[in-house]
A and B are shown apart, each in its own frame.
Chain A
Amino acid sequence: MTGLAFLIPIALGMGLFGLAAFFWAMRSGQFDDMDGAAHRILIDDEDE
């Protein structure tokens, strides 16, 4: 049972980390241009 003292905080911490990552991604505009991201990988960078 002492394992719970570690495991529950770890589970919650990982969940919170995922939540924080999602909030960061939304704030920094990762979801603003979904179709554009799909097309951008096709652009060649060589002539820059």
Chain B
Amino acid sequence: MTDPTAEFFQRLSTRGYEPMLRDAKATVRFDIKDRKRVERWSLHIDEGNLRVSKNSAGADTVVTAERTVFDGLASGEVNAMSAFLRGELIVEGDPELLVLIQRLFPAPPRKQDRQPVPAGGGRSS
């Protein structure tokens, strides 16, 4: 069984420096709910330097989501801002961090029929 969330944090832990997050100094905890269990991951951001841990202490902001939702974010199937507006992604603390964190999630899988058509397709009228 694949675990998109674990893979996401695995990738994040090797990402090292992320310039898009260079302004941030914060610890964000992710509480991922799976029936009665809560899986916790922490992302420490130090002016762009990323570190991932399972240490749950000292978070500035807590992001909570169901496992299915988070797996979707981790695989690019779910958009963070839409999930936030739907109430599926709950942010306690600094909502500004959500704008930064959403940049870390991968792109959605592309469907073939949405690929741009090559240039020179001719006039339609």
The yes or no verdict on A and B being binding partners is no
Identify the A interface with B (CB < 8 A): none
